[in-house]
Structure formats: C-alpha cells, structure tokens
Structure 1
Amino acid sequence: MFNKSYVTKDVEQIDVNSEYFPDLVYAGLESHGSDLCGFVLKPQGKGPHPTAILLHGFPGYDDPIDLAHALRRCGMNVLRFHYRGCWGVKGTYSFKHCIEDVKSAIDYLTDEEVVKKFNIDIDNLFLVGHSMGGFLTLTHACDKRIKASVAISPYDFGLVGKIGHYDEKEREEAFEMFKTAIPPLNDTNAEALMQECIENGDKWNLPDKAKFLADERLLITVGTGDVVSKKSLHHDILASEIKKYNKGNLTEKFAATDHSYSNKRIWLAQTVAEFLDEVINEK
C-alpha cells in the first residue's frame, strides 16, 4: 500500500524482529555480464509493494538517495544501481550500455523469483530518473511492464547529438560538461561520448518519440533555473510535441531551482509521491 503522507514523516514503530521490517538488500542485478552493484530498499509491511527503479544521472555525482528513502517510507520498493563502467562497476561506460542496463533492471524486477523475494506488485512498476536518468526513463517509458514514469529534469542526449551536427554552441557546452564527468567512468573520454551522441542522435532523440510517449502516464519536473537540462531545449520541445497528440497523460511541474533541486528537495519528493499516489490509487 502506498501512502504519500509518509514522504516527510517517519513510519510508526515496527518490531525489529518482524519479517516485514524495512531493510536494504543486495540485489544481484546483472547486465551483460556485469554486476551493477544494485540494492533494493524494502519498505515496511507485508506488501505486495509498488516498486520503482530510481535512475541516477551522468555520471552520478548527484545521488538521489534521499528520494529513494522518501519513496520507501511511502511503501515502495526502490531499486538503485550503477550503470556498467561507472563507480566501480566492471565494463566499459557508454550511453548505449546505460540504456541496455535499464532494460536489464526491468527484466530483473519482473522475474518471478525476484517478484516473490521482494513482494513486488507487478502491476505497479515505475521508472523514476534524474537528468540522464530522466532521459533513460523516457527512453523506456513505453515498455508495457512500466505503469508510469517520472523524469526529473531529463537531459536528452539524443537531442544534443542531433543538433550537435549544426549547433556548435550547444555541442561545445555538452562537451565541456562531459569532460567533468570522466573521473568515475571506465574506458571512455569526452570525445568518445560526444561522438556516440552525434551518431545516435536520430535514434535517441526524445521529441521524435512523442507520438508513443503521449500514450504513457508521465510526470516531468523542471527547474526553471537549470543551466544543464535547460528548459527551452530539454523540456519545451519535447512537451510541445507530446501535447500535439492531446492524450492528456503528461503532467508538468515547475520549480524555481537548479539542476540538483538544491533548494527544493522536499518539494521534489512530495511532487513525485503525489503523482505516484494518484497513479497507484486511481480507480
């Protein structure tokens, strides 16, 4: 059972010897031969529990663990992991591998044994991602196993690659950002990552997927002071394309904040919880 009221308060006392005590459990999630160092935050109670895959950004300096704990308090399982080739996970880092790893995570959570292990409510499986995690969330939002998706300031690597062919300013801004992300990544560099975006821009570009995204329940949050996932580039174009189909499935929320929601972490948790509560408990 999901209860949004716990997003900003502690749960009632539970016997520490109870099998339904909240816990943090190693997941054993693998993707293409690499252990992704995944773990599941298990909530209190018997379940079955709605479950979220919480995806961090590029390269993952900004860890949304506070959001993971907030959603767990509300009654969700939350799966966290690192992508191949970053933060000690074996393998080569690439955006293609990140996309593949999210599919591996969905496959993992829908495995019959894993469903039993974590008491997963298979009808309430969600993607929640920040920045690159938001891009990955929207890339996989049309997977029929996913009930709804939350993209927090998504950074569209496909759009950057597509316009990188002709917009030197945007390409250079992205390249400079890529250079700051290299230290925790394996076997790559800013040049290789930029080239990967340019080569895959047409395939990854989110506005080109708007027809299909319009059919999905989506929450997209935007920081109006964000200079990384700039609203005019990474939100407005996509939202405009989705709205052309008049499906009414897109929820947009705006806050006067930066890319990290530095002054709006509580607002962010409440906004995400309210959306999930609406989807989970809708009649």
Structure 2
Amino acid sequence: MEADVLCHDLSSFDEQYPATLIPLTFESHGDQLIGRILVAQGAGPHPTILLLHGFPGNEQSGDLAHIFRRAGWNVMSFHYRGAWGSEGAFSYTHSFEDVPAALRMLKTEQMQEQCRVDPEQIVLIGHSMGGFAALFTAATDPSIRAVASLAGFHLGRFAQELRQDPLLVESTASDWDSSLAALRGTTGAQLVQEVLDHAEQWTLNHYMDRLAQCSIFLIGGSRDTVAPLHVHHTPLIAALEQYSASHPSPTNATLPQIGARTPAISSTILPADHAFSDARVALAQHLLTWLEKVKHADGSK
C-alpha cells in the first residue's frame, strides 16, 4: 500500500491492468439489482471489499471506496431490492438476503477474470444497517473471515427498545416513513413490525460462536444519535470480548493481531455523528490500518 493513498493518486499507471469502474447487475430472488465494482490497478487477483450502505442509503461511502481501491482493494457496492432503482420491494429481510447474492456474484469466474477478484479474500464493510447486515452475514457464512461495522445499527437490540416503549414504536415508524423517497414497496410501520417480528433472529448475541471466528472491527461515533453507542456499539463489544475471553479458540491465532486483549476484535470511537461527517479521513485511516492486517493475516503480500 502506498503511504499517501488517503489524499494522492497512484504514482504509476499500469496500461495492461488499469484501475477501472464496471457497472453491474445481478439477480437476487428473481429481481435485478444495480451495483458497481471499482477494480484496483494491477494484474491481481485483488482482495475485494463488499461495501454495504445503510437505510435508506444517503451515505454510500464512495470516498472510502476510492481510497480502498488506491490501496489495492477491489470494492463492490450495490443497492438492495427496492432501493435506489433496484427491482423489487425493500425490506430488511430482503436486504439481508441480497448480501449473499452479491457474494455469489463476486465469486463467479466472470468476476475473477474480468475484475481480478480473489474469491478467497472478501471482506465485508457496512455502514449503519449495512454494518448490521455485514455482521449478520458473517454470522451465517463461514467463508467471511473479516467484517467491519461502521456505526452499525443492531436491529435485534433495537427491537428490545421498541418493545419497552410504545412511543418509540410510533416515532420510529414516522421517522422511517420520512426516509423512503429512494425506496419502494414498504412503509415505516411495516419496517418497525419487521424488526419486532425478527427480534430474536436479528440479535447478534445469539451468534457469538461464529462471530468469534472472524476478525471484527466496530467503529462508533461519539455524537451518533441514530445508533447511539450505549444501545448499538458498547453492549456488542462487551459481548464479543466476553465470549472470546471465555472461549479461546486455535482459530484466533490465524487472525490479525488487532488489539492487545482480543486478537480478533477491534473497536474505536471517533468524535463524529452517525455518518462520520467530519471524521472521514480518520475513518478511512483506521480502516486502512485494519485492512492491511487482515490482508497480511491471510497471507497476501
């Protein structure tokens, strides 16, 4: 990785294998989804990030995608069913089903040949709902060995908050209704009910045995009022650390040494809001450092 990828273009150009952007469409449960992949310069194969946006997707982290590409990573992003022009109806369930469909797309021979994807080195990074989707996918897909959640929104934990406060149910439905301009096929009330109906399934604490086998990086914002730390960040970190401490695994020895106490778990809090609006450079730097450790732990040069 070049030292200045945060703010400088690459110093050389590979005419045979240039960096490029390729638009994508792929199918998930009968609907066509819209996406793109930023392909890193060089012959590859390249480690690849699947970058997941949140609900409704106003922050799509394009700045991070370009930085990661300059650091040698391919970056794929896409829109869930019913979001931002993708076919179908939006729901949280559909979104979590769409992530495995995107992973299958990334691992095809076509993507390996055309985009120089290394199917053995795919990392999930998600923001807000996308952070939860990344963790939930890692909890059910053993091929995922590294995942970063940025201001992740823990839907199962939020369901507990909703059950305890009828006024929160009403205000959340109203807030989510106001965020549907780029989405179709749902309402705020339907989404709230979906969270309540899946409270147990979407509680990440039930998947500690699998998550403990991953390299996990959680980043929160100290001024986040959408996914406040005391609900969505701190309890999850505590649960992960407690499980890892009480269930030592030989697998952890192969994971990046991130953090002195728990090699597979890392976290940090930035002085920022939910979108990390005034901490984008710091956010990128933290992620680059973690990605380098993940890449080298997998045996890459």
**Structure 1 pair 3/173, CA: closer, same or farther in 2 (3 Å)?**
farther
Whichever residue aligns with residue 43 of structure 2, its letter is: K
TM-score (structure 2 length as normaliser): 0.88
**1:170 Cα deviation (Å)?**
4.2
1:278 equivalent to 2:293? Answer yes
Q: Distance in 1 between matches of 2:172 and 2:213?
A: 30
**1:5 Cα deviation (Å)?**
4.5
Match of 2:144 in 1: 146
Deviates more, 1:66-75 or 1:247-256: 247-256
Match of 1:82 in 2: 79
SS in 2 for 1:137: helix
Whichever residue aligns with residue 269 of structure 1, its letter is: A
**1:169 Cα deviation (Å)?**
5.0
- Uncovered stretches (5+) of structure 1, i.e. residues with no partner: none
**1:115 Cα deviation (Å)?**
1.9
**1:112 Cα deviation (Å)?**
2.6
Match of 1:34 in 2: 31
1:105 equivalent to 2:116? Answer no
SS in 1 for 2:6: helix
User: 39, 43, 55: which is aligned to 1:58?
Assistant: 55
Q: Distance in 1 between matches of 2:168 and 2:131?
A: 19
Q: Distance in 2 between matches of 1:136 and 1:177?
A: 21
- Uncovered stretches (5+) of structure 2, i.e. residues with no partner: 249-261
Q: Distance in 2 between matches of 1:161 and 1:265?
A: 29
SS in 2 for 1:151: strand
Whichever residue aligns with residue 106 of structure 1, its letter is: L
1:19-30 → structure 2 map (5 Å cutoff): 19-30=16-27
What percentage of residue pairs aligned between the two structures are identical? Answer: 33
User: 229, 232, 235: which is aligned to 1:234?
Assistant: 232
1:1-283 → structure 2 map (5 Å cutoff): 2-3=1-2, 5-14=4-13, 18-142=15-139, 143-245=141-243, 246=245, 248=262, 249-282=264-297
- How many residue pairs were aligned? 280
**Structure 1 pair 228/4, CA: closer, same or farther in 2 (3 Å)?**
farther
Q: Distance in 2 between matches of 1:37 and 1:19?
A: 27
Q: Distance in 1 between matches of 2:137 and 2:117?
A: 19
**1:237 Cα deviation (Å)?**
1.3
Q: Distance in 1 between matches of 2:224 and 2:167?
A: 17
Q: Is the 8 A contact 2:151 2:219 kept in 1?
A: yes
Q: Is the 8 A contact 1:10 1:73 kept in 2?
A: yes
Q: Is the 8 A contact 1:5 1:74 kept in 2?
A: no
Q: Is the 8 A contact 2:158 2:231 kept in 1?
A: no
**Structure 1 pair 215/167, CA: closer, same or farther in 2 (3 Å)?**
farther
Q: Considering only aligned residues, what root-mean-square deviation do their CA atoms show, in Å? A: 1.7
**1:3 Cα deviation (Å)?**
4.9
Match of 2:259 in 1: none
Structure scoring higher RCO (CA < 8 A, sep ≥ 6) equals 1
**1:160 Cα deviation (Å)?**
1.7
Whichever residue aligns with residue 21 of structure 2, its letter is: L
SS in 2 for 1:27: strand
**1:214 Cα deviation (Å)?**
2.0
**1:4 Cα deviation (Å)?**
6.1
Q: Is the 8 A contact 2:33 2:86 kept in 1?
A: yes
**Structure 1 pair 149/4, CA: closer, same or farther in 2 (3 Å)?**
farther
After superposition, the C-alpha distances for 1:77-114 in whole angstroms (9 at most, x for unaligned) are: 10011000011111011000000000101111112332
Q: Distance in 1 between matches of 2:28 and 2:3?
A: 32
**1:122 Cα deviation (Å)?**
2.2
Match of 2:258 in 1: none
Q: Distance in 2 between matches of 1:152 and 1:44?
A: 26
